[in-house]
Structure 1
Amino acid sequence: MALSRNADRKFLELHGNKWRVVVPVPRKAQAAIGKTKLRQSLPTDSLAEANRLKWPVVAKLQRQIDRALRPDDHLGQALHLAQQRRDAVAATGDAEPEENQIDDYIEEIQGPVLAEDEFGEPIYDPQREAAAHRFADIAYSRATPLSASREKYEAQLTVAPRTRADDVRAFAYLLEWCDREGIPAFRETFGRREAVRFHDDFATSGERHPVTLNKYMRRLSTFWKWMVRRGEVQSNIWQTLTYAVPHETDETEERPFSDTELKALLRGPAVQHMHDLMRLAALTGARLEVLVSLKVGDCHDGSIRFKAAKKEKRARLVPIHPDLEAIILRRTEGRQDEDDLFPEWPPVVKKGSLRERSFKASQHFTTYRRSVGVTDPVEGKRRDRVNFHSFRRWFITKAEQADQPESTIATVVGHKREGMTFGVYSSGPKLEQAKRCVEAVLLPEASDIAVLPFKKPHDQR
């Protein structure tokens, strides 16, 4: 029995309590579009109404895919000729040969005359004529596509893979919006007014948190700053365009573990490598990614060498806490310096993956944490108030409560030290001072927490 038209879910999916259109992107167009599916929300929770509204949206999204499958092959040549013409004008003031070459290309793109109108003016194929006009505008430097410098810009980006992906995604969102709204995506015409319009529309284009929205706005701003430095645009039109982030309160912001929660985690039925990882996190204040990335050779002479992470400028040494000595010995004895300290969580092997090495360890910990009842969810937020980063918060809290100097704590955990005195002039505390700071942090009722059996490396399974 055929489905009723009103019950048809083709090109539709329910998102929250509203329907949205979903059109798959063919594999060969995914690189150009930056997505595997195109989606657009519909203002209805009724399936019947969604079926009535979907077809114009489907057609629009499919046109976007068609353009990606058949890109303007003349863009590169137009940009090349535009540069040649500018160089000739700068050198001699005369660009007639270059302009003649441009005109020849325009005639070729325009194609043959199909007919004449009532005034004797030639009539060309509309699509070819439109392409010729675009070519002329670019070649004569009347219109430069926003994407003209993207390849060079992306080649010069020195950011983490996830940030690079955010950058590409933000620019794709912008071009998609320009196409949807019929706004020419050219440097000469896309200004502050258009940026404000995009900013306003972007906030309502999906259920993204303001923090996520601001992340994409920063990436667009970074691209414009790069173009300003190169003299390609006059100003950064995205400056000050941000979204207000809801104020966090004591009831919603992420926090350290309580001592009770920490004891539940350390006493629970975790596997050996998770117990080791939790203790290292609690007694070093290190981030999860740098912990699982440690090599055996990073643990020497009573210290752990942590690689620079986030905005840190350099690697740092952290003295090994007495309660970690047995763990470090067990994980390093008889092994080579280049061996992983935590081989249980190997690097991601899939080429092009944006996942950090710590992804699986984070998932493992979240499942375990919830299994022992350590959870503090907030309505409307994806992340729990307590997570693996709560070990880092707990370490900093305990070090402060043990009267350790703030600047020393910052050095141990890799935070930027504030002020001119400590942040600029000082080279940092000595290792002895860092050792006192680390050893001032004690696991809650350490003697009451079951001691794990010592296992030599060949006993590990």
Structure 2
Amino acid sequence: MKHSLNTDSLTIANQLKWPIVNEMRARIAEALDGDGGSDLRSIANEFRRQLRRAESDREVDAIDAGVAVTIDAVLGKPVGVDVDPITGEEEPLFQPSKVRQAQQFAKMVAGKATPLDEFHGQYMAQLNVKPRTKGDDERAIKLLKRWCDENNVEPFLQSFPVKKAAIRFVDDLQALEPRLSPVTLNKYINRLSRFWQWLEKREEVPVDVWRGLALAPPPVAHDEKERPFTDEEMVRLLKGDATQAMHDLMRIAALTGCRLDPIVCLRVKDCRDDGVFVFKPQKKEKTERLCPIHSDLTEIVERRTKDRNPDDPFFPEWPGPQKAETKRERSFKTSNQFTAYARSIGVREELDGRRRSLINFHSFRRWFITKAERAGQLESIIAAVVGHKRQGMTLGVYSAGPAIEQARECVEAVKLPSEPPAA
């Protein structure tokens, strides 16, 4: 903010400046109403830019005066007086939160304090991960800032110079978010570690202080682990009162072992004429994955691709979120509809304290793998079909994968149960 006093006289300028300074203070205080963190940061960054561009002592003095005015505005009105017991001099007292804010502002101007999220937007723009993972990144940095606020830790990168500071955060994490499981909280720690690694490469931090830190997951009893569907549960699902789209979806999941989202995201052209599905990459897959189309799925594929364009969705019933900024996957509503359907026919296994049923849509994938193994298929072939990383140097690094006919034999070895098993 600038205001000309229209005088060359320093004496007159000193007489005229105070009403203007007070007006500037009021404007700054108004801008900082509420949290004011982002406004204060932008003001500090502007002062730093001005100081870097300053070419004379007079310019530096003018900028320093602006910094002082801003600090006065941040401090606001005194809330009391402190008397020095030795000299008897009186000093104004300000709200501790305002004093802390003013100190942080002065550090930012001096370049000694970098806000935790100063580079986070730039980091996020370079990430090539799922929207849901980006959501974890954003939640992780918000959680760290919240912890800083609640523990009187300055929300700057410089507050985490060594691992000890990060350990304090990890130790408090479960109490900070008691409703979240250690598995979820560990995802946030991992995302902070990835961000710090990026900062370390840019020499913004000395080291990734989050490396190796994690909460110990609670032990899970054998009967509390997520599992495949039983054949009886499969029959109830495949014969239940569901929509045609849901029946088609379940059968494709059961006879490919594919995850939900790649199935929902199929396009007509992803069902190739040579009898192969082309599924988009998932997890750590680097390329699209080919999976033979089971002979029991031929009717579904023909019906859903007939008279349609190559880029048309295979499942138009689930078009996905409409908002471009959403972090939800296209299959979000599909998952909710399957859960409602499974619950309506009693195909659920829910335990107190667990958010998810022990049997869920992913149980189709577990069922396929189980049936393929019991049909005598090689573990390495099953892994290639479902997109798991193959073990060992030979298969995991040097092999280009099984031939499509080997994969087809594996897929065809799995058969849908048609009737409940005999008692």
* TM-score greater than 0.5 by the shorter chain: yes
1:140 maps to 110
Aligned position for 2:28: none
Q: What is the CA–CA distance in structure 2 between the aligned matches of 1:240 and 1:100, rounded to whole Å?
A: 51
In structure 2, the partner of 1:423 is: 396
Question: Which residue of the partner structure matches residue 182 of structure 2?
Answer: 210
- The aligned counterpart of 2:172 is 201
Q: Normalising to structure 2: TM-score of the pair? A: 0.80
Check whether the contact 1:109–1:132 (CA below 8 A) recurs between aligned residues.
no
Bigger Cα displacement from structure 2, 209-218 vs 118-127 = 118-127
Aligned-residue sequence identity (percent) comes to 46
For residues 59-78 of structure 1, what are the structure 2 equivalents within 5 Å?
Answer: 65-68=34-37, 71-78=40-47
| Equivalent position to 2:210, from 238, 252, 255 | 238
Say which of 192, 197, 200 aligns to 1:225: 197
Deviations, residues 409-454 of structure 1 (Å, cap 9, x unaligned): 1111111111100010000000110110000001124799xxxxxx
RMSD over aligned Cα atoms: 3.1
Structure 1 unaligned blocks of 5 or more: 1-62, 86-95, 449-461
Alignment of 1:3-402 (within 5 A): 65-68=34-37, 71-78=40-47, 80=49, 84=52, 97=55, 103-111=61-69, 134-191=104-161, 192-207=163-178, 208-301=180-273, 302-402=275-375
1:173 alignment partner AA:
L
Count of residues in Structure 1 that have an aligned counterpart in Structure 2: 374
Higher-RCO chain (CA-CA 8 Å, sequence separation at least 6): 2
What is the Cα deviation at residue 124 of structure 1? Answer: 9.2
**Aligned residues of 1:289 and 1:356 also touching (Cα < 8 A):** yes
Higher deviation after alignment, 125-134 or 260-269:
125-134
8 Å CA contact retained: 1:297, 1:337: yes
- Give the conservation status (yes or no) of the 8 Å contact 1:81–1:98: no
> Cα gap change, 1:169/1:65 in structure 2, threshold over 3 Å: closer, same or farther?
farther
Is the Cα–Cα contact under 8 Å of residues 252 and 385 in structure 1 kept in the other structure? yes
Matches of 1:98 and 1:360, distance apart in 2: 62
2 CA distance for matches of 1:276 and 1:149? 45
Residue 259 to residue 339, structure 1, CA distance change in 2 (3 Å): same
Q: Would the alpha carbon gap of residues 68 and 97 (structure 1) be closer, same or farther in structure 2, given more than 3 Å must change?
A: closer
Partner Cα separation in structure 1 for residue 100 and residue 357 of structure 2: 53
Alpha carbons of structure 1 residues 385 and 131: separation in structure 2 relative to 1, 3 Å: closer
Aligned equivalents of 2:372 and 2:223: distance in 1?
23
Given candidates 394, 405, 411, the residue that maps to 1:432 is 405
- Partners of 1:294 and 1:306 within 8 A in 2: yes
Asked if 2 retains the 8 angstrom alpha-carbon contact of 1:396 and 1:409, the reply is: yes
Show structure 2 runs of 5+ residues with no match: 1-31
More deviation in 432-441 or 104-113? Answer: 104-113
Question: Structure 2: how far apart are the matches of 1:134 and 1:385?
Answer: 49
Which amino acid counterpart does residue 226 of structure 1 have in structure 2? W
* One-letter amino acid of the structure 1 residue matched with residue 215 of structure 2: Y
| Greater gyration radius | 2
Q: Normalising by structure 1, what TM-score?
A: 0.74
Note the alpha carbon deviations across 1:75-117, whole angstroms, 9 max, x for none. 32255468x49xxxxxxxxxx94887555322112139999x9
Letter in 1 for 2:246: M
Deviation at residue 133 of structure 1 after TM alignment: 5.0
